[in-house]
């Protein structure tokens, strides 16, 4: 943010005649180019005094100095396909390693931690991976994705048993080529069953 040494999460503002979810979709597309991806609201942040310390250099007449709420959304995207876009009040917008996060303004570190906690919890009843993996992938690919989000290793056998038990995959009669060992089987998501699982939930939690 211009005039601010700390980093902040990218965001935007809700139009006077705009629904909140519509605003989130618009802002995501404007700041990243991403659309038609999984996007979900997870928490509202509005403690008193949340902006006073970091934004005290601004004139009191600017609305940033007044109390305002932030509605948090997280999206599942392939970061290699996303180019963050700087807005009118920012000097930079870029990806950061979650294990090496810089100092963050206001309560944005809490917003990030709440998003990660929500995503980890939702792994218990919602599938992920559609926007984060190639169209065809292996079970080790999917396991690596889950381990990254959960921040811990998972048993290969138990992971595969559980995932295949969800019955949301299409097994292909081909294997990934390369390597001296037997190549792993390729899968893709069954779109009808995947979307149904997003609505009804998964039958076995992590």
Query: pLDDT tens digits for 154-198?
Result: 999 999 999 999 999 999 987 666 555 567 899 999 999 999 998
Query: For the domain 139-200, what is the CATH code?
Result: 1.10.10.10
Per CATH, the homologous superfamily of domain 20-122 is Nucleoside Triphosphate Pyrophosphohydrolase (3.90.79.10)
pLDDT of the residue at 5: 82
DSSP per residue, the chain: -TT-SSB--------TT--HHHHHHHHHHHHH---SS-EEEEEEE--TTTTTTTTTTS-TTSGGGS---EEEEEE---GGG------TT-S------GGG---BSTTHHHHHHHHHHHHHHHTTTS---TTTS-SSB-HHHHHHHHHHHHTS---HHHHHHHHHHT--EEEEEEE---SSSPPPEEEEE-HHHHHHHHHH--SS--
Encode pLDDT of 22-67 as tens digits.
Answer: 999 999 999 999 998 899 999 999 998 887 777 766 677 666 667 7
Residue 115 scores a pLDDT above 80 = yes
Least confidently predicted of 67-81, 89-103, 171-185? 171-185
């Amino acid at each position: 943010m211009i005039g601010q040494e700390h980093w902040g999460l990218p965001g935007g503002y809700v139009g006077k005649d705009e629904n909140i979810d519509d605003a989130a979709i618009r802002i995501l597309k404007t700041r990243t180019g991403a659309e038609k991806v999984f996007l979900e609201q997870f928490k509202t942040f509005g403690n008193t005094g949340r902006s006073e310390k970091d934004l005290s250099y601004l004139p009191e007449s600017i609305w940033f100095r007044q109390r305002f709420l932030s509605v948090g959304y997280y999206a599942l995207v392939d970061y290699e396909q996303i180019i963050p876009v700087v807005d009118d009040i920012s000097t930079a917008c870029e990806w950061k390693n979650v294990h090496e996060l810089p100092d963050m303004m206001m309560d944005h570190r809490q917003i990030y931690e709440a998003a990660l906690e929500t995503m980890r919890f939702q792994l218990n009843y919602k599938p992920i991976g559609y926007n984060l993996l190639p169209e065809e992938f292996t079970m080790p690919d999917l396991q690596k994705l889950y381990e990254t989000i959960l921040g811990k290793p998972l048993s290969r056998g138990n992971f595969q048993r559980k995932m295949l038990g969800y019955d949301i995959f299409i097994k292909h009669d081909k294997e990934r080529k390369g390597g001296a060992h037997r190549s792993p089987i390729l899968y893709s998501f069954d779109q009808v069953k995947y979307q149904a699982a997003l609505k009804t939930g998964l039958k076995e939690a992590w």
